[in-house]
Structure 1
Amino acid sequence: MSQQQDAPSIYATLASTFMQFPATDDPVSSDAEVVVTGVPFDLACSGRSGTRLGPNAIRLASANLAWEGERWPWGFALDEALKVADCGNLGFRYGEPQSLVDNLETHVERLLGAGKRLLNLGGDHFITLPSLRAHARHFGPLALIHVDAHTDTYSGGTRYDHGSMFHHAVQEGLVDTDRSIQVGIRTTYDRDDHPFEVLDAAWVNEHGPAAVVERIRARVGEAPAYLSFDIDGLDPAYAPGTGTPVSGGLTSDCALKLIRGLQGLDPVAMDLVEVSPAYDHAEVTSLTAATLALEYLYVLAANKR
């Protein structure tokens, strides 16, 4: 066999795991510090369905990022600083949302008990609620850093609803509202009785990422923080592949700078949700999602270094 045939290809495994990190079917016992989990659930969406296909689409798009050793602008190789493994997609009984809730809470609790941190790939945004419950039991009320076009604090939804998770999170005491912030909002909410500080999309686009990072850091402080990133926080020009697109959002460059700006804080988990590949073009949304998730891992690695 020739040397060329022997040479590994960045597409050799079709990115069956995120960033071609090692696969594991026993993440609790693995040596991974961070575990990537796909949550292929979209039974709580109110708009266009299809986000159940998001985790695998993000993994496939991540093949375009796997070739870069010392990633710009970090200047070091992630796998030399942080051990990451992908445990595949979470199982649950399709058509039975409560089984997703139960299984995801149990999964997160087991990993946190083993000292792991999590990167969850959705799926619709409802998956944040069971994950937050498990994290709050472990860390206490969390600072929520929420990037989205919608506040998802609507109280009139059903029991399983991707627009009401943070209403329930406040009611259940899962988040510390004095330490929490929502970024990129550009849909209606009750401004006179809203539990979170809001930096709406117009403010973000006018003031720029450095000002946003300053506000986030001042708000969150030293509290353990949960980063929940809905891809529709970006403008549809940068992320068309989502169920509820809203014009006037953030650029991908701004979003990357926001995540980079979390270095030095204590982000204990991230979920990246609402990628719906059926509405994507040239994998641009999936690639952006993969890049944002990778940037979060670099923040964890930089903090460790």
Structure 2
Amino acid sequence: MSILTSSVFNQVDNSIYSNAMTFLRAPLTQDPTKGDADVVILGLPFDMATSGRSGARMGPDAIRQASINLAWEGQRFPWDFKLAEQCHICDAGDLVFSAGDSEEFCARVEMAADEILASGKTLLCFGGDHFVTLPLLRSHAKKFGKMALVHFDAHTDTYSNGSRFDHGTMFYHAPNEGLIDKEKSIQIGIRTNYTQENHGFTVINAMQANDMAPHDIVEQIKHTIGDLPVYLTFDIDCLDPAFAPGTGTPVCGGLSTDKVLRILQGLRGINLVGMDVVEVAPSYDQSDITALAAATIGVDLLHLWVAREK
């Protein structure tokens, strides 16, 4: 009689270091448009638009591996429901594209997102540098129309200079393409130079955010976005380098992980239609704290998506 019984292979693995490295140990799927998943995890291992240190292409795998530390918790504190009972997720792995071809990458992102959204599912994407958000916004706008952007970052990413593929230009192009409504969009954690005149976005800069209570930040976000469909993008360098050193363009004076999580948890009820976490560069990380922060933010975004109508 073989000791390799079917029960050995069918049991759920709760150990941290075995190699089932999908996000939260979600099922891996070859066709994310099929099945009963509500939310599809998609990795975008792209960092050719980086202006600082490269390495964010390794972010999706690092986030997945860190998420295993969170997979054991049946009900995440302080949420009042169990995620697995309210949301089925699957992991579609990483997008495949030809190395060095930024234009093809954008086309493939948009095509993949189009198919997943058309199937009635929601996307949570892990970058990759922040440029990945632009083709994602193009796809989401086809389905949801002009959206409000909730943008956590140290940088505004509204710079008009640079090449077509530059991770500092997405939110210059997005409103010009009619993808987002600047007057209904808000940026939190900004602490690099920008010109407020004609900027268009509401900004809670890092000094203001660090002085404000999370509840007051939440109220300003909700007041700004109104009832528009919301795309939420989180650049991990919104966090201070003390909490997230593993990123390409770290900037001192950022927010704490605790404050960010309190803000996200306070945003329940917003009409969240798409989301991403970007700019994790594990080669600069220390003890995986950046990847763990990104994975934790990803988990809270899933909870926030469930609570979008509560």
Q: Indicate if the aligned counterparts of 1:49 and 1:276 stay in contact, CA closer than 8 A.
A: yes
Selected match of 1:145 from 143, 147, 150: 150
The 5 Å alignment of 1:127-146 reads 127-146=132-151
Are residue 117 (structure 1) and residue 116 (structure 2) matched? no
**Aligned equivalents of 1:303 and 1:211: distance in 2?**
19
Following superposition, the deviation at residue 15 of structure 1 comes to 4.3
Contact conserved, 1:222 with 1:265, CA < 8 A, in 2? yes
Whether the 8 Å contact between 1:10 and 1:66 is mirrored in structure 2 is no
Tell me the secondary structure at the aligned position of residue 68 of structure 2. Answer: helix
Aligned partner of residue 290 in structure 2, secondary structure: helix
1:173 and 1:41 map into 2 onto residues whose CA distance is 24
* Counterpart residue type for residue 112 of structure 1: L
SS at match of 1:115: coil
Aligned match of 1:70 in 72, 75, 79?
Answer: 75
Match of 1:145, as an amino acid?
V
| 1:19-55 residue CA offsets vs partner (Å, 9 max, x unmatched) | 1011111100121110000000000000000000000
Q: Deviations over 1:101-130 (max 9, x none)?
A: 000000111111111111000000000000
Q: C-alpha offsets along residues 85-106 of structure 1, whole Å, 9 cap, x if unaligned? A: 0000001111000111000000
Describe the shift of the 1:145–1:7 C-alpha distance in structure 2 as closer, same or farther (beyond 3 A): closer
Q: TM-score by structure 2 length?
A: 0.95
In the alignment, does 2:81 pair up with 1:81? Answer: no
Shift of 1:302: 2.7
Q: Which digits, 9 at most, give the CA deviation of each residue in 1:138-173, with x for residues without a partner?
A: 111110000000000000011000000100001111
Residue 29 of structure 2 is aligned to residue 24 of structure 1: yes
Distance 1:7 1:235 in 2: 36
Q: Which runs of 5+ in 1 are unaligned?
A: none
How far residue 13 of structure 1 moved from its aligned partner, in angstroms, is 4.3
Structure 1 residue aligned with 2:271, among 258, 266, 270?
A: 266
Counting only pairs closer than 5 Å after superposition, residues 79-228 of structure 1 correspond to structure 2 as: 79-228=84-233
- In structure 2, the gaps of 5 or more residues are none
Q: Which letter does structure 1 place at the counterpart of 2:78?
A: P
CA distance in 2, matches of 1:229, 1:82: 21
Offset of 1:7 from its aligned partner? Answer: 7.7
Segments of 4+ moved more than 4 angstroms: none
Aligned partner (choices 275, 279, 289) of residue 280 of structure 2:
275
User: Aligned letter for 2:194?
Assistant: Y
Counterpart AA for 1:251: S
Question: Is 1:290 paired with 2:279?
Answer: no
Distance 2:213 2:246 in 1: 24
Q: Deviations over 1:68-100 (max 9, x none)?
A: 101111132211110110000001111000111
Partners of 1:25 and 1:79 lie apart in 2 by: 21
Q: Whole-Å Cα distance in 2 between the matches of residues 156 and 244 of structure 1?
A: 18
Q: Distance in 2 between matches of 1:33 and 1:79?
A: 11
Q: Which residue of 2 aligns with 1:300?
A: 305
Cα shift at 1:9 = 3.1
Over 3 Å counting, the alpha-carbon distance change for 1:214 and 1:131 in structure 2 is same
- SS where residue 58 of structure 2 aligns? helix
- One-letter amino acid of the structure 2 residue matched with residue 44 of structure 1: A
- 8 A Cα contact 1:139 1:224, kept in partner: yes
Helix, strand or coil: the match of 1:190?
Answer: coil
Tell me, what secondary structure is at the counterpart of 1:121?
strand
Matched residues in 1 for 2:199 and 2:286: separation? 35
Aligned residues: 303
RMSD: 1.5
Letter in 1 for 2:82: A
